[in-house]
Amino acid sequence: MAGDWTKYFDAKTITLLTNIGYKPAGLVEGNLVGDHRSPFHGFAVEFAGHRGYVPGDDVKHVDWKAYYKTGKYLVKQYEQETNLIAHILVDVSESMLFQHEHGSRIDYAAFMATALSQVITSQSDRVGVYLFDNALRNIIRPTSGHEIVGKIADSLADVQIKEPSAIGKMLNLVAERVRRRAVVFVISDFFADVEATLQGVRRLMDDKHEVVLFQVVDPLELRFELPGRARLLELEGVDSMNVVGASVRESYETLFHAFLEDLEKRATALGADLLLCDMGKPFGFHLAEYLSGRIVKRN
């Protein structure tokens, strides 16, 4: 079933985020002149494909044979000329279906993935997407084309969301697949084994990848303002619990905020970035906050 590519496409927000742009913190494997620094100098390179010509490109890299065939100005790219490769991992486990008053976590994550993909491809960089729960459910190979938006929509339309999450295992699987130095974004609620998750982050960091964690939470989880009696359903399972909101609020918030602080502290200690994304605020707010902060750090 094909998805509606416009479902997760917020043109106004994407335009604003594209104007900020994305700058990797460390070295990336590439030789192209531009915003990214490269650790390679004078290496032999292999042809990897084409991308569309953009103003400022050196015309000597235009493939004129391709132009005569297609009528389009295409620039030759080589394996080590790709400035940046980003991989976006989107959690599609059962807990991501949670929603209260601000839509579902999975839709919020999809908007973030789509916008971030557009920001990266607008710089002629490549981005790939993985959908996962306790297995890799769909893989969109890295591309610098804007068709990534439709592919994300199609993948989310087809995925069956019903399994628990195994984030640490998935990070290790991605580490085995990603050979070149890259930026790995993970969009999740991170309701999984914390030790396993951090082990997966450590594996990626040891391989010299840059790791960015976007933790998506509902405002109800941050401020447990649930009046009266309620029946709480297990996010990934079949158990339930009847509670009086006011009676459990203080203990719940203490435990939940301790969980958030512990994950952030330990992820940061490994060298990863973690941004808490409150669904009570627009997804573009959090992405702009992150992208703007990177510019300040680099400067």
**Model confidence pLDDT, tens digit, residues 193-213:** 999 999 999 999 999 999 999
Report DSSP state, residue 234. Answer: P
Name the phi and psi angles at 66, rounded to 5: -65, -35
End-to-end CA distance of the chain: 45
Amino acid at site 58? D
Regarding predicted confidence, which is higher, 233 or 276? 276
**Residue 36 reports pLDDT greater than 60:** no
**Residue 30 reports pLDDT greater than 70:** no
Share of the chain above pLDDT 70, in %: 76
Provide the β-strand partners of residue 183: 86, 210
Amino acid at site 154? D
**Residue 34 reports pLDDT greater than 50:** no
- Per-residue pLDDT reduced to its tens digit, 127-141: 999 999 999 999 999
How confident is the model over 159-173, as a mean pLDDT?
Answer: 91
How confident is the model over 25-53, as a mean pLDDT?
Answer: 51
- pLDDT for residue 1: 42
> β-pairing, 183-188 with 210-217?
parallel
Provide the pLDDT confidence category of residue 170 given band limits of 50, 70 and 90.
very high
Tokens at 62, concatenated: 């235009």
Most confident of 132-136, 149-153, 246-250: 132-136
Share of the chain above pLDDT 90, in %: 48
Residue 263 contacts by C-beta under 8 Å, 6 or more apart in sequence?
Answer: 190, 194, 197, 215, 274
**Residue 51 reports pLDDT greater than 80:** no
Domains of the chain: 11-23+84-298 (3.40.50.410), 47-80 (no CATH)
- pLDDT for residue 150: 85
User: Which alpha helices (H) appear in the chain, and where do they start and end?
Assistant: 11-20, 64-70, 105-121, 148-158, 167-177, 194-206, 219-222, 245-270, 283-298
Amino acid at site 128? G
